[in-house]
Structure 1
Amino acid sequence: MAHHQQAGHPPQGTTSSRDGALARERVPWRTRLIYGSGDLFGGGAYNIINFYYLIFLTDVAHVRPALAGIIVLASRIWDAVSDPLMGSITDRTRSRFGRRRPYFLAGSVLIFLAFALHWYAPAFASETARFAYALFSYIFFATVFTLVMVPYSALAAEITLDYHERTRLNSVRLAFSLGAGVAAALVPMPIVRAFPTPQEGYLAMGIIFGLLFAAPWPVIFLHIRERPELQTPLPSQAAAQPAFRRWTRFFLEPLQVRAFRLLVGMHLTAYLTIDVLSALFAYYATYSLGRPGMLNLLLGAVVISQILFLPVYTRLSRRLSKGGAWRVGALVTGAGTAALYLVPPEVPGWLLYGLAAWVGAGLSGACMLPWAIFPDVTDVGELAFGERREGSFSGLMTFFRKVASAVALFIVSLILDLSGYVAPESAGSAAQLQPESFVQATRLLLSFLPVLLLGLGSVAARRFPLSPERHRQLLAHLAHRRVRGLDSPEARRVQAELERALV
């Protein structure tokens, strides 16, 4: 458990220089595990949605693919307001529980309710009514996700300042996320099939997973603490600004930081890749390979491989830097998805599972490393703005993550319509024959869109400027500046040098 420290003293397990810069810091395993458990919701919920929600809307809720895409896209327009706004709100929150923790307690009940309603398919005769309910439930879920996950992601930068400990912390977080992803791949369909109708099955699945996702948050609220030396008072000039101007400032200013823009490039392309693969895999297995019964195990192979390779990328990040390790993951993923295009329907099952595991091995780095880099970038934000804005950075990261999902699902839904998708005659049917144009469109998107996206992300990763050595220099300068300000020509020189490199 993380403990409160007196202001001006480093946490237990650290040493400090004369200026207060941390020389060594170890995060206890208990803290890693409790913090990481929150991403059961962050990763698990979106894995289930990405794997099954589009096909749930089209085949069970009977909403046309184009309307299903509009549902996701409309919720992201709302996210354009709510995510950065939540980042600003959590940065400006001052309470005896800190800036982040009050929202974890509030989210405990809301997570369960929002996720359960997300999978309810009302038997309305009107497609307009079905569309309206799906739109409402998706926006409600997106709002609850923002309420909890924006402050949660910001908290990582406040648990430890150590470059490599942040990678370990986020590795544990991603292990929980991917563990939930394994459950998301393997468990939902058996639950759904255990009930007389898909409508009952999907609702039961939503209730069960809603309880699972809500469970960690009271424990996180009780046991995780924010670093007191980073709980700075609100700047008086910011408090005096009109609310709209404060919101636009907190939204736009992080984008002025070069290191953050490059991180967004890596994060966005990685999660667009993940969302494209997640949305299309069900159609690929069902209609291209003609093996719907293998879907759960194929998805399970992807996610289990992601978990197994987390230690590999943790070590690679120490040798190559975090950006270099990300490029390795991008290369492995692109090679694996390109190979899927060459797979004929009669290919042996073991080869399919091997390719799925290969793709998962690459995605492991693409998933984990942007969030391992994120706390380091918030340190650059303190360099640039003179105050901690983890919430604002987190709000933008969550926003871009959701935009990636919306764009991916909207593109996929349009292509399903335009390429001739034919809905099953009855809910839950998997035997519907699809035209060749649809099958080819699915294979091309699944195989080569990730190659294009990850190629663009690799350009950003190659240019990312924050090495372990540079980060140590940054932390030492920030610790000095918090105590003494820019009190000497040397401090001003280091400030200017770091700004040129990172901002």
Structure 2
Amino acid sequence: MAATDAVKPGFLTRLSFGIGGAADGIKNNGFDYALLFFYSNILGVDAGLVGAALMIALAVDAVSDPVVGYWSDNLRTRFGRRHPFIYAALIPTAVVYFLTWNPPAGLTANELFPWLVFTTIGVRLAFTFYEVPSSALAAELTQDYDERTSLMSLRYFFAWFGGLTIQILLFRFLLVPTEETPIGVFNIAGWNTYGLISAFCILGAVLICGAGTHSHIPNLKSPPAARQLTLGRIFREIFETISNPSFRALFLATLCGLVATGISATLNQYINTIFWEFDNTEIANLTMGVYISAILALIIAPIVGKTVGKKRGAITIGILAFTIAPLPVILRLLGFLPPNGSPELFPIILTITIFDLSLIIATQMLMGSMVADIVEDSELQTGRRSEGIFFAGISFIRKLSQGAGVFTASIVLHVANMSQGGGAAAATEESVRSLGWGYAISLLTAWTLMIICISFYRISRESHADNLARLKALQSGQDAS
């Protein structure tokens, strides 16, 4: 097959690969922010059972993610290694996600638990078949150091854009009050419609990703030579692959970064409504600001990666991001910001939030591109290209770390005496201060650990170029023999 370093994907290919990220963004947004609320608060399933269903699905992921990653690294078909998985996942991803939000009418409350287990496992499996091989394409479509940053930046941009758009659609336009349902969030028909629209959007994103990159199949990397595979050999090769030092560094950095994301996502509503006392319109405007953040990140990440390199760029803007994020809270606690309700406060917080979130997203983009660069480094060590395994590992740690962030946030709420709810009216001055300090300190701790982990990543622009040169020399020697 042709060498992928001689082929750079054009604009439509890059766009197709990026749009593929919208499927993951829609699914992750629904599972992270709405699934627990829908099944427990709306349908009456015990919250503990909802959590149990998600943990059962996570246990399945622990096996399916590395298996699919390894399988897609070694598959031999006329359609290459990745695209058969993408096409196989096309219908299941949409159908099972639709079923998650459209449970059988005859089941109520805890009777829905088996259905929830079935659909959550189905969604996780279907998306594993799509997400792992399609993400691995970033390392195959090009070997260019900066082009990979461009690809992953588009992927993360559309993930954020797609997830946010569907979330706004749900809460602003679908969950509307009716005569029978005066409180909009209890409008079951709105949730059902959300499932349908999301399913069609996921179907479209997966189809665009597969079809838009299909023409590159002849230029993608071939699987390793056929060999006798046993269960022991498979797992031995998987562990040999993930022992790469740079992968370990990114794996742990991703874990710490997503713990911080979980803390922020869980406490964000408390900070906005209780700490800042923003009204619904102001909170909606903060949410809309994410669009601007995603656009800025799409510009920032490639420029930073090209200027100072991915590792240094991720560390630099990561430090800025974790410094800026809790800064307004700390300034308020120290008495340096205008009081709640003043006209100056919201513009200050909105501006800082938009800029800071753009840095956080840009850091994610650079780290995603850094995963792709591990592939050649590992190939020199093992003799195998293992894009699927690397992206499967990152995919799994994202799912695993979600709960850790929520758990940390729950401790902050407990210490602040806010775990029982009650809103701003029930919050004392002392509890608000505890919330602020807990939020700031937990974020600073998680992000500091993330930056420390990134510092152990070993691949630079120069070492990546050296890896490519050594692989090319090895290939030339094999061809000559």
TM class, shorter-chain normalised? 0.7 to 0.9
Equivalent position to 2:298, from 281, 297, 310: 310
**2:341 paired with 1:346:** yes
In structure 2, give the amino acid aligned to 1:295.
I
Question: For the Cα contact (< 8 Å) 1:103–1:148, is it kept in 2?
Answer: yes
Question: For the Cα contact (< 8 Å) 2:72–2:81, is it kept in 1?
Answer: yes
Question: For the Cα contact (< 8 Å) 2:20–2:208, is it kept in 1?
Answer: no
Determine helix, strand or coil for the equivalent of 2:217: coil
- The equivalent of 2:336 in structure 1 is none
Question: For the Cα contact (< 8 Å) 2:132–2:388, is it kept in 1?
Answer: yes
Determine helix, strand or coil for the equivalent of 1:230: coil
- The equivalent of 1:355 in structure 2 is 352
Structure 2 length as normaliser, TM-score? 0.85
CA distance in 2: counterparts of 1:143 and 1:445, whole angstroms: 36
The 5 A counterparts of 1:254-273 are 254-273=241-260
Question: Identity across aligned pairs (percent)?
Answer: 23
The 5 A counterparts of 1:270-349 are 270-288=257-275, 289=277, 291-342=279-330, 345-346=340-341, 348-349=345-346
Gaps of 5+ in 1: 1-6, 12-21, 425-430, 489-503
Query: CA 1:294–1:203 in 2, change beyond 3 Å: closer, same or farther?
Result: farther
- The equivalent of 2:187 in structure 1 is 198
Shift of 1:451: 1.5
Query: CA 1:106–1:229 in 2, change beyond 3 Å: closer, same or farther?
Result: closer
Shift of 1:275: 3.0
Query: What does the per-residue CA deviation read over 1:219-263, in whole Å, with 9 as the maximum and x for residues that have no partner?
Result: 333341335462134441xx342x2x2442244222211111112
Question: For the Cα contact (< 8 Å) 1:421–1:434, is it kept in 2?
Answer: no
Equivalent position to 2:198, from 199, 204, 209: 209
The 5 A counterparts of 1:446-457 are 446-457=439-450
In structure 2, give the amino acid aligned to 1:322.
K
CA distance in 2: counterparts of 1:362 and 1:100, whole angstroms: 31
For structure 1, which segment, 302-311 or 379-388, has the greater mean C-alpha deviation from structure 2 after superposition?
302-311
CA distance in 2: counterparts of 1:306 and 1:255, whole angstroms: 31
Determine helix, strand or coil for the equivalent of 2:384: coil
**2:453 paired with 1:460:** yes
Equivalent position to 2:222, from 215, 231, 236: 231
Equivalent position to 2:465, from 459, 465, 472: 472
CA distance in 1: counterparts of 2:294 and 2:239, whole angstroms: 34
In structure 1, give the amino acid aligned to 2:341.
E
CA distance in 2: counterparts of 1:258 and 1:352, whole angstroms: 39
Shift of 1:67: 4.8
- The equivalent of 2:135 in structure 1 is 153
Query: CA 1:432–1:141 in 2, change beyond 3 Å: closer, same or farther?
Result: farther
Shift of 1:273: 2.3
- The equivalent of 2:61 in structure 1 is 79
For structure 1, which segment, 144-153 or 112-121, has the greater mean C-alpha deviation from structure 2 after superposition?
112-121
Question: For the Cα contact (< 8 Å) 2:301–2:363, is it kept in 1?
Answer: no
For structure 1, which segment, 444-453 or 27-36, has the greater mean C-alpha deviation from structure 2 after superposition?
444-453
Question: For the Cα contact (< 8 Å) 1:76–1:406, is it kept in 2?
Answer: no
For structure 1, which segment, 478-487 or 118-127, has the greater mean C-alpha deviation from structure 2 after superposition?
118-127
- The equivalent of 2:182 in structure 1 is none
For structure 1, which segment, 214-223 or 464-473, has the greater mean C-alpha deviation from structure 2 after superposition?
214-223
Shift of 1:340: 4.6
CA distance in 1: counterparts of 2:472 and 2:435, whole angstroms: 52
For structure 1, which segment, 81-90 or 439-448, has the greater mean C-alpha deviation from structure 2 after superposition?
439-448
Question: For the Cα contact (< 8 Å) 1:168–1:314, is it kept in 2?
Answer: yes
CA distance in 2: counterparts of 1:123 and 1:423, whole angstroms: 31
Query: What does the per-residue CA deviation read over 1:377-428, in whole Å, with 9 as the maximum and x for residues that have no partner?
Result: 011121111011111112111111111123323544677689554479xxxx
CA distance in 1: counterparts of 2:431 and 2:100, whole angstroms: 28
Query: CA 1:422–1:433 in 2, change beyond 3 Å: closer, same or farther?
Result: farther
Query: CA 1:125–1:45 in 2, change beyond 3 Å: closer, same or farther?
Result: closer
Question: For the Cα contact (< 8 Å) 2:412–2:439, is it kept in 1?
Answer: no
CA distance in 2: counterparts of 1:360 and 1:340, whole angstroms: 14
Shift of 1:295: 3.3
Question: For the Cα contact (< 8 Å) 1:268–1:404, is it kept in 2?
Answer: yes
Query: CA 1:240–1:211 in 2, change beyond 3 Å: closer, same or farther?
Result: closer
Question: For the Cα contact (< 8 Å) 1:420–1:438, is it kept in 2?
Answer: yes
Query: CA 1:301–1:52 in 2, change beyond 3 Å: closer, same or farther?
Result: farther
Determine helix, strand or coil for the equivalent of 1:226: helix
**2:379 paired with 1:397:** no
Question: For the Cα contact (< 8 Å) 1:170–1:368, is it kept in 2?
Answer: yes
CA distance in 2: counterparts of 1:432 and 1:70, whole angstroms: 31
The 5 A counterparts of 1:103-182 are 103-120=85-102, 128-182=110-164
Query: What does the per-residue CA deviation read over 1:139-192, in whole Å, with 9 as the maximum and x for residues that have no partner?
Result: 222222211101111111110011111111112222222221431453221133
The 5 A counterparts of 1:59-74 are 59-63=41-45, 66-74=48-56
State the number of aligned residues.
460
Query: What does the per-residue CA deviation read over 1:22-51, in whole Å, with 9 as the maximum and x for residues that have no partner?
Result: 4x7532111101111100112232134334
CA distance in 1: counterparts of 2:197 and 2:424, whole angstroms: 30
In structure 2, give the amino acid aligned to 1:366.
T
Gaps of 5+ in 2: 179-185, 333-338
Equivalent position to 1:101, from 63, 66, 83: 83
